[in-house]
């Protein structure tokens, strides 16, 4: 078992990574908790022993579940279950569950404790850690939410055994992203060493990296933006999908496309060379990922969502590779973005 501490100013919490980690749920709950509301989805069956009475609540499956309506329903369910400010929410599932349950916990009684039990690779390496909670709007992904840190996170790798192939790919997209965040330019091939680690080590590596970034910048004022590498386009692709567009990508699959786009945009801006672009492709290959733009999209389908990305400051903002590594770049010209989208197959 690997224990990673997210050491925030004035408070800290642990992330447990390993086989059988869910057995530690009771010790993860804050002292004095007398009841928990377990938020999950149909088909997710994880044996829980919180040591106190629990009420099971289910939200719908799919990204569409990340809605204000479902947050309201959960809060009403918490009230009907008699949940008090001294009790806790336990989110059991993937990123949709941890995002929605965490936001509901942040809102209910102006904030109750919650613990994440992450059951997908994507949630274990990213979504369940760091305290970002939220839901989508028709205008974009994750536009409403709160920074609300969990009391603890459990990443039991045994729960991943039944994941379908595309859910594995979704998580590996985020792992591939992590391969670039602490890389010194010119030193080694990104992704190769990380891909060779065993599963527990990969999850712990990503959690440790995110813990360090979150501890330094909890509310995404600067350094935490790096965790969104590849995500400006990825979130736009997901938003197009939610609006009924010609996109069928899991989050990590969209991140893979976003990583290739970010590399090619950085190349166009003179920040990296051909070799560095090839390294991005090699990193995706190491994790069995694609990175090609879905067919049938135009630049006009994606640009409005990119402009509303939460990193933006009334401009087009991207996290891009460069001589100093990955960093936020503000005020990217729309012509450069459209040109790279065109190179990747989007109609202009």
As a whole number, mean pLDDT of residues 9-23 equals: 96
As a whole number, mean pLDDT of residues 21-29 equals: 98
CATH number of the structural domain spanning residue 32: 3.40.50.1970
> Among this protein's residues, is 251 annotated catalytic?
yes
As a whole number, mean pLDDT of residues 256-265 equals: 98
- In the predicted model, is pLDDT for residue 274 greater than 80? yes
Instruction: Quote the pLDDT of residue 347.
Output: 85
Domain span at residue 119 reads 2-160
> Do 181 and 322 have their domain in common?
yes
As a whole number, mean pLDDT of residues 313-338 equals: 92
> Do 312 and 178 have their domain in common?
yes
> Do 263 and 151 have their domain in common?
no
> Among this protein's residues, is 85 annotated catalytic?
no
> Do 38 and 184 have their domain in common?
no
Catalytic-role residue among 66, 177, 183, 210: 210
> Do 90 and 116 have their domain in common?
yes
As a whole number, mean pLDDT of residues 77-93 equals: 97
> Among this protein's residues, is 167 annotated catalytic?
no
Per residue in 289-299, pLDDT tens? Answer: 999 999 999 99
Instruction: Quote the pLDDT of residue 237.
Output: 96
Cα-based distances in Å from 60 to 70, 89, 93, 181, 322: 9, 17, 12, 33, 41
Instruction: Quote the pLDDT of residue 140.
Output: 87
- In the predicted model, is pLDDT for residue 74 greater than 80? yes
> Do 270 and 243 have their domain in common?
yes
> Do 126 and 169 have their domain in common?
no
CATH number of the structural domain spanning residue 298: 1.20.1090.10
> Do 201 and 113 have their domain in common?
no
> Do 119 and 241 have their domain in common?
no
**Average pLDDT of the chain?**
93
Q: Which two tokens stand for residue 24?
A: 């530690």
Neighbours of 281 (CB within 10 A): 14
Find all residues with CB under 8 Å of 271, minimum gap 6, and list them.
320, 321, 322, 323, 329
In a domain, 63, yes or no: yes
Distance CA(293)–CA(84), nearest Å, equals 47
Domain's final residue, options 133, 160, 187:
160
Catalytic-role residue among 174, 238, 253, 279: 174
In a domain, 348, yes or no: no
CA 190 to chain centre: 20
Domain's final residue, options 118, 136, 160:
160
pLDDT band at 181 (very low <50, low <70, confident <90, very high): confident
In a domain, 211, yes or no: yes
Catalytic-role residue among 66, 141, 172, 235: 235
> Do 17 and 141 have their domain in common?
yes
As a whole number, mean pLDDT of residues 90-115 equals: 98
> Among this protein's residues, is 136 annotated catalytic?
no
- In the predicted model, is pLDDT for residue 84 greater than 80? yes
Whether the Cβ atoms of residue 178 and residue 207 lie closer than 8 Å to each other:
no
Q: What is the pTM of this model?
A: 0.92
> Among this protein's residues, is 210 annotated catalytic?
yes
> Do 169 and 156 have their domain in common?
no
pLDDT band at 184 (very low <50, low <70, confident <90, very high): very low
Catalytic-role residue among 63, 66, 132, 167: 132
> Do 21 and 65 have their domain in common?
yes
Domain count, the chain: 2
As a whole number, mean pLDDT of residues 83-95 equals: 97
What percent of the chain has a predicted confidence (pLDDT) above 90?
Answer: 86
């Amino acid at each position: 078992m690997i224990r990673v501490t997210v050491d925030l100013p004035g408070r800290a919490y642990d992330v447990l990574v390993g086989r059988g980690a869910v057995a530690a749920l009771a010790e993860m709950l804050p002292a004095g908790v007398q009841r928990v509301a377990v938020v999950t989805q149909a088909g997710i069956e994880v044996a829980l022993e919180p040591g106190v009475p629990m009420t099971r609540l289910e939200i719908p499956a799919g990204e569409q579940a990340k809605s204000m309506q479902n947050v309201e329903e959960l809060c009403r369910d918490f009230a009907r279950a008699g949940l008090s400010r001294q009790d806790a929410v336990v989110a059991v599932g993937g990123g949709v569950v941890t995002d929605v349950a965490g936001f509901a916990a942040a809102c209910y009684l102006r904030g109750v404790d919650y613990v994440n039990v992450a059951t997908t690779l994507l949630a274990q390496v990213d979504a369940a850690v760091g305290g970002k909670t939220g839901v989508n709007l028709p205008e974009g992904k994750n536009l409403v939410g709160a920074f609300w840190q969990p009391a603890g996170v459990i990443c039991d790798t045994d729960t991943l055994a039944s994941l379908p192939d595309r859910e594995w790919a979704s998580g590996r997209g985020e792992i591939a992203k992590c391969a670039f965040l602490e890389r010194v330019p010119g030193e080694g091939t990104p992704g190769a060493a990380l891909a060779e680690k065993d599963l527990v080590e990969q999850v712990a590596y990503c959690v440790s990296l995110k813990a360090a970034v979150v501890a330094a910048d909890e509310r995404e004022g600067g350094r935490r933006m790096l965790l969104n590498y590849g995500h400006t386009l990825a979130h736009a692709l997901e938003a197009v999908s939610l609006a009924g567009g010609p996109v069928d990508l899991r989050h990590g699959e969209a991140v893979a496309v976003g990583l290739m786009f970010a590399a090619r945009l950085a190349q166009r801006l003179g920040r990296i060379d051909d070799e560095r672009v090839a390294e991005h492709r090699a990193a995706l290959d190491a994790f069995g990922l694609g990175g090609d733009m879905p067919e049938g999209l135009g630049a006009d389908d994606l640009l409005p969502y990119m402009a509303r990305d939460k990193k933006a400051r009334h401009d087009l903002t991207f996290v891009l590779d460069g001589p100093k590594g990955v960093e936020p770049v503000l005020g990217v010209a729309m012509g450069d973005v459209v040109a790279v989208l065109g190179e990747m197959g989007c109609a202009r």
